[in-house]
A = this chain, B = another copy of it.
Amino acid sequence: MHVVIIAGGSGSRLWPISQKAHPKPFLRLDGATSLLQQTYQRGQFACGEDGMESVTTVTHRELFFRTEDEYQALAPQQPLHYLLEPCGRNTAPAICAAALELKQRYGEDAMLLVLPADHRISDESAFAEAVKHAAVAAADDQLVTFGITPTRAETGFGYIEVREAFHPAESPIQPALGFTEKPDPTTAEHYLASGRHFWNSGMFCFTAATLLAELAQHAPALLEHTQAALGAARYSEGEKHSVAQLDPEHFATLANDSIDCALMEHSSKLAVVPCDIGWSDIGSWQAMADLTPADAQGNRVQGDVEMEDTQDCYIHSHHALTATLGVQDLVIVDTPGALLVAHRDRSQDVKQLAERLASHDSQYQWHQGKVHRPWGTYTVLEEGHRFKIKRIEVKPGASLSLQMHHHRSEHWVVVSGTARVTNEDSDFLLRTNESTYIPVGYRHRLENPGLMPLVVIEVQSGDYLGEDDIHRFDDGTGSGLPRFT
């Protein structure tokens, strides 16, 4: 089984904690592991010992280093393949590209288990059981979906319909009549009562051959453009790993289509495995609130919050103290970069709001918070008139590129670990609590020769402090291209 993790979405329905630069898969709801890591572990668990042959991740190219860091923390044994998108195009191109890539690497019988990277499943054993049934049908040329048994008349999901109500224990898999769009409330009540409708979880199981044949029949343009984008991709191959950067020009011609609309609503090879697995897509602040227990006033609170006469609010305060007074039915989400105050019934509309905001300043979205690079991370702590302050963390053994700036001097203070510094013609060690400065025009390099992480506070000083004032003397390390060292 080849696990395909779809991680490219922007998660704008959880704005502002989920943003382009920090999308939903990276959220650590339990503190310890991210939704992305949990997805990886779920795939491994569901496939069983040695059953997961490879993991292919489709994501935005800006998120590559960070995604790689998340997986490496799990010490993965499987080959990792990456398909990097230059821009978001919904699930149809992502899943199509993964099937093409896996067919090429492992043959057309390669069986794919497609998992969105930002869902939560509380009963992993039940899910593993469902995957076993799915694999049987997938081998029999079916597009297998995982249908969640509805627990309420939800209007926010699409549904999968079967011919007759049945008990999952009797029949673990059924042919599906088809996919339906999100229903109105009356229809949703009818669906809930019928026993013939399941929530579409967005997880799938099929062989590359089945998917590509169905796409050729129902979505030939999608298939053709995705083939072109993959054919012109820039590949980096490691010992086991690979990275394909999909061609931006061809990729841009693709329509923004979900796999549901592009294929599932038209195919006649659909099967569904009904599941009762404690699933949530955490698809809104309302869904997020449901994960936090309520107090006696119905408030669900995270972080530093002081409430007076406050009822039925969800407050997520991860920036500063939040105080409320005489309010009710609000969702309040405070982060260092943005604050949301919404009525709790409007949580489905946050997506549109976030997308409108993102369109104002799309560049900004990528460059706030911690930025991941192959040598480690940097975080802009403060910018002011004539100065910019960064915290730079360099991994043990890693090194930034040899570089030079025309308009700024740089000042490095080692607050943890030991640095090796190249500064024009000198080369020396800088220990904890020591500092040095790099005048304008000097060639310099920062390395971590030690076994512990190196933490440096960098103060940039000068008239122009843009990231583009950089001249690199060697290639690779700082260029933003993938490396496998």
Q: Which of B326, B337, B414, B455 contacts A343 (CB 8 A)?
A: B326
Task: Say yes or no: is A466 at the interface (Cβ < 8 Å to chain B).
Answer: no
Q: How far is the CB of A2 from chain B (nearest CB, A)?
A: 40
Are the CB atoms of B338 and A341 closer together than 8 Å? no
Task: Say yes or no: is A321 at the interface (Cβ < 8 Å to chain B).
Answer: yes
Are the CB atoms of A325 and B342 closer together than 8 Å? yes
- A300-314 at interface with B (beta carbon < 8 Å): 306, 308-309
Q: Which of B306, B320, B357, B389 contacts A323 (CB 8 A)?
A: B357
Q: How far is the CB of A285 from chain B (nearest CB, A)?
A: 10
Task: Say yes or no: is A218 at the interface (Cβ < 8 Å to chain B).
Answer: no
Which residues from chain B contact A338 at a C-beta distance below 8 Å? 320-323
Task: Say yes or no: is A435 at the interface (Cβ < 8 Å to chain B).
Answer: yes
Alpha-carbon separation in the docked complex, A323 to B433 (Å): 42
- A320-346 at interface with B (beta carbon < 8 Å): 320-327, 330, 332, 334-343, 345-346
Which residues from chain B contact A306 at a C-beta distance below 8 Å? 353, 356-357
Q: How far is the CB of A66 from chain B (nearest CB, A)?
A: 21
Task: Say yes or no: is A409 at the interface (Cβ < 8 Å to chain B).
Answer: yes
Which residues from chain B contact A340 at a C-beta distance below 8 Å? 323-325
- Contacts A342-B324, A409-B433 known; A382 to B385 CB distance under 8 Å? no
Are the CB atoms of B325 and A334 closer together than 8 Å? no
Residues 445-456 of A, flagged 1 when their CB comes within 8 A of B and 0 if not, give 000000000010
Are the CB atoms of B349 and A322 closer together than 8 Å? no
Binds B, one of A170-178, A196-204, A457-465: A457-465
Task: Say yes or no: is A399 at the interface (Cβ < 8 Å to chain B).
Answer: no
Q: How far is the CB of A326 from chain B (nearest CB, A)?
A: 4
Task: Say yes or no: is A411 at the interface (Cβ < 8 Å to chain B).
Answer: yes
Are the CB atoms of A349 and B461 closer together than 8 Å? no
Are the CB atoms of B346 and A309 closer together than 8 Å? yes
Which residues from chain B contact A435 at a C-beta distance below 8 Å? 409, 411, 435, 437, 459, 461
Are the CB atoms of A325 and B349 closer together than 8 Å? yes
Task: Say yes or no: is A126 at the interface (Cβ < 8 Å to chain B).
Answer: no
Alpha-carbon separation in the docked complex, A457 to B381 (Å): 13
Task: Say yes or no: is A45 at the interface (Cβ < 8 Å to chain B).
Answer: no
Task: Say yes or no: is A434 at the interface (Cβ < 8 Å to chain B).
Answer: yes
- Contacts A306-B357, A341-B330, A356-B306 known; A415 to B387 CB distance under 8 Å? yes
Q: How far is the CB of A30 from chain B (nearest CB, A)?
A: 23
Are the CB atoms of B350 and A325 closer together than 8 Å? yes
Task: Say yes or no: is A293 at the interface (Cβ < 8 Å to chain B).
Answer: no
Residues 210-221 of A, flagged 1 when their CB comes within 8 A of B and 0 if not, give 000000000000
Are the CB atoms of A343 and B327 closer together than 8 Å? yes
Task: Say yes or no: is A91 at the interface (Cβ < 8 Å to chain B).
Answer: no
Name the residue on B nearest A339 (C-beta): B322
Which residues from chain B contact A319 at a C-beta distance below 8 Å? 339
Known A411-B457, A433-B439, A433-B462; further 14 A-B contacts with Cβ < 8 A:
A306-B357, A309-B346, A317-B339, A320-B336, A320-B338, A323-B339, A323-B353, A325-B353, A326-B342, A332-B341, A334-B334, A433-B440, A435-B437, A435-B461
The 5 A-B residue pairs with the shortest CB-CB distance, nearest first, are A326-B343, A326-B346, A325-B342, A411-B435, A387-B415
